[in-house]
């Protein structure tokens, strides 16, 4: 057999893209294990279960008996809270909680998993293997999390019984995609800097960067995904002028396209930094130390 030539160096971008695709496919195949599928199913069902529980509780309060849920009634009535409150709850559950948890499981172990399985060494000796590993895992993590998040949004919105659900599903889906893109890149840094403590480090990053710095009304929160997502939620739901005055400092008044650009730019910078770090990281053979 004649040995086909690899893509020549002048096509190195294509070769990298092919390698990234190979890693993404491989990681997605790994994610299709029974345990991971079960976790994904839980991620899909969890927000819907919470919405159902809230409806049930509200119905009980409303009727005094806790019975006869009326699936056709608008959540505004059933929950005893307005549509904005239901949307806020869905936002907290899906683009925040479900996406965050999904990415902790899929993106954080990007390098640690390879080291633990002994496959890092196979990847590190391939041309562009390190970069392909990180970017491919990123693609797989984003895809997987988006699938889980969007399915969770569809199910939860219908279970919540919100009137005119499609626009809300659209908003939540957009936020899920941006949350996955931005936070997967954010978690890529601890994954390459502290691979063996990536999960702990990522939780710390999530808490400190996203949920502490993200709520500080100063320059520091401009570099967080949570600010952009909140601002997009406000913009896409048309709440700009409905937000209470004392809450306005928690969102950015810039237009939506700028928020989307900011998330994408942040993701690109974080990924570039993580890739550069991984490219020059060395993992010594532990049995020889």
Partner 1 sequence: MLTLTHATKLYGSVIGVNDVTVDIGEGAYGLLGPNGAGKTTLLGLITGQLRPTMGQVRVFGDRPFANPDVLRRIGFCPAADLTERRVTPREWVRYLVRLSGFRSADAADLADVALEHVGLADSLDRPLGTLSKGMRQRTKLAGAMAHDPDLLVLDEPFDGLDPVARHDLVGLVRHWSAAPAAVRDKPRTLLVASHLLHEVETLDAGLAVILGGRLVASGTAAEIRALVDTMPAEVRVRCDAPRRLAAAVCDSSGTESVRFEGADVVVMATREPQRLAERISLAAVAERLSIHELTAADRSLEGIFGRLVRLHRGVAS
The residues of the shown chain that bind partner 1, judged by CB under 8 A, are 1, 3-4, 6-7, 9, 12, 15, 18-19, 21-23, 26, 29-30, 33, 117-119, 121-130, 132, 279-280, 282-285, 287-289
Q: Return d(Cα 160, Cα 31) in angstroms, integer.
A: 29
Q: Provide the terminal-to-terminal Cα distance of the chain, rounded to the nearest Å.
A: 43
Residue 116 Cβ vs partner 1, minimum distance, rounded to whole Å? 8
Which one, 119 or 261, has the nearer CB to partner 1? 119
Residue 17 Cβ vs partner 1, minimum distance, rounded to whole Å? 10
Residue 190 Cβ vs partner 1, minimum distance, rounded to whole Å? 22
98 in Cβ contact with 149 (< 8 Å)? yes
Which one, 127 or 165, has the nearer CB to partner 1? 127
Work out the widest C-alpha separation in the chain, in whole angstroms: 79
CA dist list (Å): 270 to 42, 182, 223, 264: 29, 9, 11, 10
From the list 17, 267, 278, the residue with the least C-alpha distance to 142 is 267
Which one, 7 or 205, has the nearer CB to partner 1? 7
Residue whose pair of structure tokens reads 């491919």 in the numeric block:
136
Q: Return d(Cα 22, Cα 117) in angstroms, integer.
A: 18
Which one, 64 or 282, has the nearer CB to partner 1? 282
Q: Return d(Cα 187, Cα 206) in angstroms, integer.
A: 8
Residue 133 Cβ vs partner 1, minimum distance, rounded to whole Å? 8
Q: Return d(Cα 120, Cα 46) in angstroms, integer.
A: 34
Residue 20 Cβ vs partner 1, minimum distance, rounded to whole Å? 10
Residue whose pair of structure tokens reads 């599928």 in the numeric block:
37
Residue 37 Cβ vs partner 1, minimum distance, rounded to whole Å? 13
Q: What is the dihedral of CA 56, 59, 65, 66, to 10 degrees?
A: -10
Q: What is the CA radius of gyration of the chain?
A: 21
Q: Return d(Cα 101, Cα 93) in angstroms, integer.
A: 11
Q: Return d(Cα 120, Cα 192) in angstroms, integer.
A: 12
Which one, 133 or 262, has the nearer CB to partner 1? 133
Residue 193 Cβ vs partner 1, minimum distance, rounded to whole Å? 17
Residue 143 Cβ vs partner 1, minimum distance, rounded to whole Å? 18
Which one, 257 or 283, has the nearer CB to partner 1? 283
Which one, 6 or 66, has the nearer CB to partner 1? 6
Which one, 5 or 246, has the nearer CB to partner 1? 5
Q: Return d(Cα 194, Cα 108) in angstroms, integer.
A: 10
């Amino acid at each position: 057999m004649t040995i086909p030539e690899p893509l020549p160096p002048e096509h190195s971008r294509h070769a990298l893209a092919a390698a990234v695709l190979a890693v993404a496919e491989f990681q997605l195949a790994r994610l299709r294990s029974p345990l991971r599928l079960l976790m994904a199913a839980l991620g899909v069902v969890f927000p819907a279960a919470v919405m159902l529980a809230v409806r049930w509780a509200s119905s009980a309060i409303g009727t005094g008996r806790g019975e006869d849920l009326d699936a056709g009634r608008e959540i505004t009535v059933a929950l005893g809270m307005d549509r904005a409150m239901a949307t806020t709850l869905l936002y907290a559950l899906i683009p925040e909680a479900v996406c965050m948890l999904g990415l902790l499981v899929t993106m954080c172990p990007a390098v640690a998993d390879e080291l633990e399985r002994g496959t890092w060494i196979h990847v590190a000796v391939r041309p562009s293997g390190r970069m392909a590993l990180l970017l491919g895992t990123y693609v797989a993590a984003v895809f997987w999390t988006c699938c889980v998040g969007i399915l969770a949004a569809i199910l939860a919105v219908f279970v919540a019984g919100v009137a005119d659900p499609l626009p809300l599903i659209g908003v939540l889906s957009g936020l899920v995609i941006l949350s996955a893109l931005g936070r997967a890149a954010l978690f890529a840094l601890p994954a390459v800097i502290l691979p063996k403590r990536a999960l702990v480090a990522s939780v710390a990053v999530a808490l400190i960067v996203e949920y502490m710095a993200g709520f500080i009304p100063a320059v520091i929160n401009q570099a967080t995904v949570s600010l952009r997502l909140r601002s997009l939620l406000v913009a896409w739901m048309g709440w700009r002028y409905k937000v209470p005055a004392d809450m306005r400092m928690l969102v950015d008044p810039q237009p939506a396209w700028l928020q989307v650009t900011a998330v994408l730019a942040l993701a690109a910078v974080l990924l570039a930094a993580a890739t550069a770090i991984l490219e020059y990281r060395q993992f010594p053979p532990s049995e020889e130390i």
